[in-house]
Amino acid sequence: MNLNEQSNVLAFLNSKLPKFHSTILPKLCGGDRVMDLLFYRPLNYVDRSRLLSDAQVGEFTTFMAKVYEHQPPTFRGRPYKIVVESENQYVFVVFFNYSIKYLCKLFPIGANVIISGKLEKFAEYWQITHPDYVSLNINQFKEIARMEPVYQLCRGITNKRIGNMISSNLKGLPDLPEWIDDTLIKQKKWLNWRESIIKLHRPSSLTEAEVCRKRLAYDELFAYQLALRLARESHVKERRREFTISNEYKEQVLNGLPFQLTNDQIRAIDEISERQKSKYRMISLLQGDVGSGKTIVALFAMLNVVENNMQAALMAPTTILAEQHYNWIEEVLSCTDIKVALLTGKTTRKERKIIMNELASGILNIVIGTHALFQANVTFKNLGLAVIDEQQRFGVMQRNRLVGKGENTDILFVTATPIPRTLQQAMYGDVECSVLREKPKSRLPIKTATMNIKRVPDIIEKLKSAIDRGEKAYWICPYIEGSEETNIAAAEMRFQELQKTFFNKVNIIHGKLTQDQKDQVMFSFKRNEFSLLVATTVIEVGIDVPDATIMIIENAEQFGLSQLHQLRGRVGRGNKQSFCVLLYDNLSKNSSSKLKIMCESQDGFYIAEKDMMLRGSGDILGIKQSGCMEFKFADLYQDRELLNLAHNNAKSVMAEDKSFELLLDIFEYRSRLHFSKFQ
């Protein structure tokens, strides 16, 4: 296929759908192009291929029948019945909401009709209530008696409508050059790309549909892995600098620490130090379980940079988290001559001017801050390392704006959300990763228990005793997916109830508050101005109140496993015994398993794997919110083998090949390279 033919393919796939559809389809498919529509994968399939003689009660069937008679109801409110004859037996076709005129037109006496619907039995007779299809055109039998895809819908469109739209656009789908090795295609018994798209929407069996999905999932994963590799090659550049590590500051800091480093921390510090000494730009990921001590590891990476007469920046997503980092790091570095500053939206104009002058002149060694760090008027003399804390909470462009303030700046991404190995490989490709699993020896395991929500009065009594003893607690309110307003309403109702017992000892925090208001509530909590904090999930990550020892999570069955683990991690950060109570209401089998895992394990990586298995990959990190790729065909848990295959094959191909460029364009990864997480 030449360049002109490739352009025609992309023109077809990128062409806009009719205007009528453009208001509805973006809600469903994420866009209003032919490509968006054809990539809209069915949720499941209905098998309409069973004949009446082969079908069981509750199964779908499609059959030809002769209309025998109409039986209008004798009493108002009763159903209208039509008797049809098929395969020497009578079948009742039943309608509850009907127009007699319409039914007489649809079922003329003596006519042959095609009927498709779910088979029921009433007394000794077969029955179909409100059939899905009725057609007087007997030539449509094959069209109806097939595997019918079922799509997720929204108001304004039916399954039949979206199916017809897809079918009409499948007719013009062009053929493409094959980019998968022939050996692999034969081994997996895959169809070509065009046939896979067509038969995903019009399969002859569930097996064929799954084979087509697997083929398209591989294409998608292969394209993404190629894109990651191209981005890596483009942005991991060789540099001309001498980088030596004398550990002068490291020894000073270690001598002043009131605790010993864990083996995982020591290993991670050594790994990151070696990467910093490399002649190639470092792009590294530090992921650690809740409370595993990631900040001290990041600090030693920053000290290495300072030793080499460069500057380091640590960017956190919230003011309170930035201030926590600043206060701790400033205290730890008080034994050195290193100059540290805090730059946030709350920094006064006078302080900001001083900080910016010291950054530009090189007097300031380390700056810790929020989004204020990447503003246009912030200039570094020589930014050598950017540490991005809770990196999934920043947009790609935001991260790039900070990293772009230096030349070939090293990047250390930090996350407290344990990422399963499969998901890590999909998101980051070959980015080097250091993992912290161990907790400091001073940390006691959090005692976790489940209780029925009916026991809230008992819990309030025990909580009152604990608060009277000087302890602090969180009370997390129900999570209703996709409805922050409802979450807030639930929190406010619980807050009002708890005020009756705790009066001014209780406060509330939620997503409707401004960042300044949230920070003020958290600072007051840390300063012991109140003892019980009612909250939505806004406190999920990064909040460090060491003397908070009790976590109560209401309707815990509505949360994901990883989210429950993060919330539980807000306690157990000091040397006192901490507790987590998971309140439940209605437990399904799945919810019961989830809460059992929480009680049995505190290993965030194990919990993340289980969460991925239960909920799928997209929900672990909140893909839509974090700017990570949302896959159309691939499921990163179900398709782990395909991901490994795509990962390995991407290493061995020439990405300059024209067919691979087309693959990247079709899956739209090339446009993402410029804004890649590796920049």
Domain membership of residue 591 as a residue range: 447-601
Q: What is the mean pLDDT of residues 555-572?
A: 89
Quote the pLDDT of residue 139: 93
List the CATH number of the domain containing 495. 3.40.50.300
- Amino acid 60 reads F
CA angle 261, 265, 271 (to 5 degrees): 140
Q: Which of 128, 145, 162 is the last residue of a domain?
A: 145
Buried b (16+ CB within 10 A) or exposed e, 264-300: bbebbbebbbebbeeeebbbbbbbbbbbbbbbbbbbb
pLDDT band at 673 (very low <50, low <70, confident <90, very high): low
Quote the pLDDT of residue 538: 77
Residue 638, judged by CB atoms within 10 A of its CB (0-12, 13-18, 19+), counts as middle
Average pLDDT, the chain: 86
Residue 254 sits in the same domain as residue 371: yes
**What percentage of the chain reaches a pLDDT higher than 90?**
49
Q: Per the domain annotation, does 634 fall within a domain?
A: no
Residue 133 sits in the same domain as residue 194: no
Residue 200 sits in the same domain as residue 282: no
Quote the pLDDT of residue 258: 84
Instruction: Give dist(CA 675, CA 583) in Å, integer.
Output: 42
Instruction: Give dist(CA 427, CA 285) in Å, integer.
Output: 11
Instruction: Give dist(CA 62, CA 138) in Å, integer.
Output: 12
* List of E strands, 195-310: 283-288
Residue 431 sits in the same domain as residue 554: no
- Amino acid 440 reads P
Q: What is the mean pLDDT of residues 88-108?
A: 92
Buried b (16+ CB within 10 A) or exposed e, 540-572: bbbbbbebbbbbbbbbbbbbbbbbbbbbbbbbb
Query: Which of 41-45, 224-228, 532-536 shows the lowest mean pLDDT across its residues?
Result: 224-228
CA angle 626, 630, 632 (to 5 degrees): 170
Scanning 503-639, the segments in alpha helix (DSSP H) are 515-526, 561-568, 589-600, 604-615, 618-621, 623-626
- Which helix (H) or strand (E) element contains residue 94? strand 89-95
Quote the pLDDT of residue 234: 67
Question: At which residue do the structure tokens 């097996």 appear?
Answer: 207
Q: Per the domain annotation, does 398 fall within a domain?
A: yes
Quote the pLDDT of residue 627: 39
Residue 253 sits in the same domain as residue 388: yes
Better pLDDT: 654 or 501: 501
pLDDT band at 671 (very low <50, low <70, confident <90, very high): low
By the 8 A CB rule, do 414 and 391 touch?
yes
Provide the number of structural domains found in the chain: 4
Q: Per the domain annotation, does 669 fall within a domain?
A: no
Convert the pLDDT of each residue in 460-495 to its tens digit.
999 999 999 999 999 999 875 555 666 667 889 999
- Does the structure show a pLDDT above 50 at 675? no
Quote the pLDDT of residue 670: 63
Convert the pLDDT of each residue in 359-413 to its tens digit.
999 999 999 998 889 888 899 999 999 998 875 555 555 667 787 788 888 989 8
Q: Which of 145, 163, 191 is the last residue of a domain?
A: 145
Query: Which of 101-115, 586-600, 621-635 shows the lowest mean pLDDT across its residues?
Result: 621-635
Q: What is the mean pLDDT of residues 525-529?
A: 91
Q: What is the mean pLDDT of residues 316-327?
A: 87
pLDDT band at 676 (very low <50, low <70, confident <90, very high): very low
Question: At which residue do the structure tokens 């990151």 appear?
Answer: 272
Q: Per the domain annotation, does 68 fall within a domain?
A: yes
Instruction: Give dist(CA 220, CA 227) in Å, integer.
Output: 11
Strand partners, 407: none
Quote the pLDDT of residue 628: 46
Query: Which of 359-363, 390-394, 530-534, 639-643 shows the lowest mean pLDDT across its residues?
Result: 390-394
Q: What is the mean pLDDT of residues 124-139?
A: 93
- Which helix (H) or strand (E) element contains residue 534? strand 532-535
Q: Per the domain annotation, does 92 fall within a domain?
A: yes
Query: Which of 349-358, 585-594, 649-658 shows the lowest mean pLDDT across its residues?
Result: 649-658
Q: What is the mean pLDDT of residues 266-292?
A: 90
By the 8 A CB rule, do 368 and 338 touch?
no
pLDDT band at 674 (very low <50, low <70, confident <90, very high): very low
Helix-, strand-, coil-residue percentages of the chain, each rounded to 5 = 45, 20, 35
Convert the pLDDT of each residue in 54-64 to its tens digit.
999 999 999 99
pTM across the whole model: 0.69
Instruction: Give dist(CA 619, CA 607) in Å, integer.
Output: 13
Residue 406 sits in the same domain as residue 535: no
Q: Which two tokens stand for residue 22?
A: 């453009």
Instruction: Give dist(CA 255, CA 301) in Å, integer.
Output: 17
Query: Which of 277-291, 341-355, 390-404 shows the lowest mean pLDDT across its residues?
Result: 390-404
Convert the pLDDT of each residue in 421-475 to its tens digit.
666 666 666 678 899 988 887 788 999 999 999 999 999 999 999 999 999 999 9
Terminal-to-terminal C-alpha distance of the chain: 33
**CA 391 to chain CA mean position, Å:** 14
- Amino acid 46 reads V
In Å, how far are 173, 177, 210 from 180, measured between CA atoms?
Answer: 19, 9, 18
Q: Per the domain annotation, does 556 fall within a domain?
A: yes
Residue 321 sits in the same domain as residue 384: yes
By the 8 A CB rule, do 559 and 583 touch?
no
Q: Which of 382, 415, 436 is the last residue of a domain?
A: 436
User: Of 379, 376, 377, whose CA–CA distance to 364 is shortest?
Assistant: 379
Residue 554 sits in the same domain as residue 427: no
Residue 336 sits in the same domain as residue 474: no
Eight-class DSSP state of 16: B
Q: Per the domain annotation, does 672 fall within a domain?
A: no
List the CATH number of the domain containing 82. 2.40.50.140
Strand partners, 340: 366
In Å, how far are 15, 328, 473, 679 from 580, measured between CA atoms?
Answer: 53, 26, 10, 40
Q: Which two tokens stand for residue 350?
A: 């006078």
**589 φ, ψ to 5°?**
-60, -40
Q: Per the domain annotation, does 276 fall within a domain?
A: yes
pLDDT band at 548 (very low <50, low <70, confident <90, very high): very high
Instruction: Give dist(CA 221, CA 230) in Å, integer.
Output: 14
By the 8 A CB rule, do 329 and 342 touch?
no
Q: Which two tokens stand for residue 560?
A: 């994901």
**For 8, what's the count of Cα atoms within 13 Å in the CB-facing half-sphere?**
11
Residue 171 sits in the same domain as residue 320: no
Q: Which two tokens stand for residue 430?
A: 């070959």
User: Of 274, 608, 570, whose CA–CA distance to 427 is shortest?
Assistant: 608
Residue 140 sits in the same domain as residue 172: no
User: Of 456, 387, 378, 383, whose CA–CA distance to 415 is shortest?
Assistant: 387
Residue 327 sits in the same domain as residue 281: yes
Quote the pLDDT of residue 428: 67
Convert the pLDDT of each residue in 164-177 to its tens digit.
889 999 988 988 88
**For 78, what's the count of Cα atoms within 13 Å in the CB-facing half-sphere?**
7
In Å, how far are 12, 28, 200 from 16, measured between CA atoms?
Answer: 9, 15, 22
